Structure 1
Amino acid sequence: MTTRRAALTHVMHAALTTCAGGLSLAAHADLAGKPQPDTRSTVPNFVRALLRGTPRLIGQHRFTYWGFEVYDASLWSSTAFAPDNWAMQPLVLELRYLRDFKGADIAQRSMEEMQGQRPLSAAQQQSWSGVLQSLLPNVRNGERITGVYAPDKGMQLLHQDRLLGEVPDAELAKRFFGIWLAPETSQRQLRQQLLAGAQQ
């Protein structure tokens, strides 16, 4: 059971992630989850509090792995969203988990996903791993981790409505959100669904 749970942890996601849980390569992932209801007219209060302007749901998707439901991901922005320029726009990414995960597993998988985008230096690996390990909590079924991305500034991570901490490292924040949004992500169908409403 411990091995299966660790294998399911993908980050993040926090992470943010976040965050993903412990999933393997996209070739082995089942991303054909049922689309979630369109909630553009019912913006959660916590999203309104995190984004300036009028928040708008860009996309959402239920992430599954070999039939196991992992989390529901939702992406919000308050600007006219351009997918090709996602890293220059304020974002809120919510991951509502559908099973229990350890924070250490989420952090480890997040590092693997960021390394997969582009190789990290030894200094980045050591520093960023420490940051994520210190911030990402254990999560239980039904709980959410929310990442708030500020272009060229960094990010904040929240567990439920509690602030876990701020990360004033713009490159780490970009790579972390890139787990879901970068063209190099291993989860391209998930990215497609999160960006589905960008042109509407």
Structure 2
Amino acid sequence: MKRAVISFALLLGTLSGAPALAQAPEPTLSAALQDKTAVGKARLRYWGFDVYDASLWALPGFDISRFENQRFGLELAYLRDFKGADIAERSIDEMKGLTTIEPAQATRWTQAMSNLFPDVKRGDRITGVHVPGSGARFYLNGRLLGEVADDAFSRLFFGIWLSPKTSQPRMRETLIQGIGGTPR
């Protein structure tokens, strides 16, 4: 399994045109989020259904207006069962709402997420860690799933929750309310 994840990460880095990550990903979430604290939590409800609870983890002084330049984590604690492929499809749709994505790129990113995200059950937690200049690393219940070695992907993926252009502005405000003194 580990070998497959590493091979996938290397292949993805090659396909995206992005360089492979120079630093090996941390094997556990606690190592990846070392020194980070929860700065905000929010629940996503869609058509009256509870979907997940989101938690934003960052260092003190986190500047939301420059989120793409800082290391942070975003945890989604699922309140329902979902197929990994459905999570990937919804994610790419949300990313397309932030900017225009070339169809070939959207296909590559959707495939990468479909291969990476497992089916989740109620209570499972997927945490993404944004590593500026490198991409995104993902953990399931604290254990490394793999990474997408593409900074543009990572910026847009986390923009689903943190961009001012998010489709869920109230959720964004709730997530970032614990960040003091930064422009919104």
Q: TM-score range by the shorter chain?
A: 0.7 to 0.9
Do 1:92 and 1:148's aligned partners in 2 also have CA atoms closer than 8 Å? yes
Which residue of 1 is the match for residue 106 of structure 2? 125
Structure 1 residue 51 and structure 2 residue 33: aligned? yes
3-state DSSP class of the match of 2:173?
helix
| Structure 2 residue ranges without an equivalent (≥5) | 1-27
| Structure 1 residue ranges without an equivalent (≥5) | 1-45
TM-score calculated relative to the size of structure 2? 0.79
- The 4+ residue runs of structure 1 with deviation greater than 3 A are none
Map 1:95-174 → 2, pairs under 5 A: 95-174=76-155
Do 1:47 and 1:92's aligned partners in 2 also have CA atoms closer than 8 Å? no
Map 1:1-200 → 2, pairs under 5 A: 48-52=30-34, 54-199=35-180
3-state DSSP class of the match of 1:176?
helix
Amino acid at match of 1:66: W
CA distance in 1, matches of 2:60, 2:131: 12
3-state DSSP class of the match of 1:117?
coil
Do 1:79 and 1:89's aligned partners in 2 also have CA atoms closer than 8 Å? no
Do 1:51 and 1:78's aligned partners in 2 also have CA atoms closer than 8 Å? no
Do 2:130 and 2:137's aligned partners in 1 also have CA atoms closer than 8 Å? yes
Higher share of residues assigned helix? 2
State the superposition RMSD in angstroms: 1.4
CA distance in 1, matches of 2:139, 2:89: 18
Do 1:48 and 1:55's aligned partners in 2 also have CA atoms closer than 8 Å? no
- The one-character-per-residue Cα deviations of 1:148-197 (angstroms, maximum 9, x if unpaired) are 11111101011112211111100001110011111111111111111111
